[in-house]
Amino acid sequence: MESEKNFLVNCIKMGKLKKVTEPWHGYLKDKKLIVFKIGTGYNLISIDGEKGEKNLEGLCKYAWENDPETTQESGYDCVEDFIEEVNLGNDGFGFNEDEIEICDMK
């Protein structure tokens, strides 16, 4: 159990986007991101901020409107379907290792 806990602690990081390279990245600019290290990249778990976003619904809506190639052309009929799949963990937002600057979790 302790080794599993240590594994998770080592995989969950706080970071920031280094630069905007995708249309949906605009939503994340200057926000603290909670990411999970997997292989040579990161998956977005949550957005840490003053408003304390509880899920990725705002990002999903932003991506739907600003990056239709990634969302609408992936087979989703409406933004609600996309949000549901992201909330279920069946879809999401990932980054290459060099796109995220890791910060202290404070």
Please give the Cα distance from 68 to 49 (Å, whole number): 26
76 in a domain, yes or no? yes
Q: Which residue has the higher pLDDT, 35 or 72?
A: 35
64, two tokens: 């739907």
63 in a domain, yes or no? yes
DSSP class of 2? H
pLDDT band (50, 70, 90) for residue 92? very high
79 in a domain, yes or no? yes
Number of domains in the chain: 1
105 in a domain, yes or no? no
pTM of structure: 0.84
Please give the Cα distance from 82 to 29 (Å, whole number): 21
- What number is the average pLDDT over the span 11-17? 93
pLDDT band (50, 70, 90) for residue 7? low
Residue 105, pLDDT score? 67
Print the domain residue range for 39.
2-100
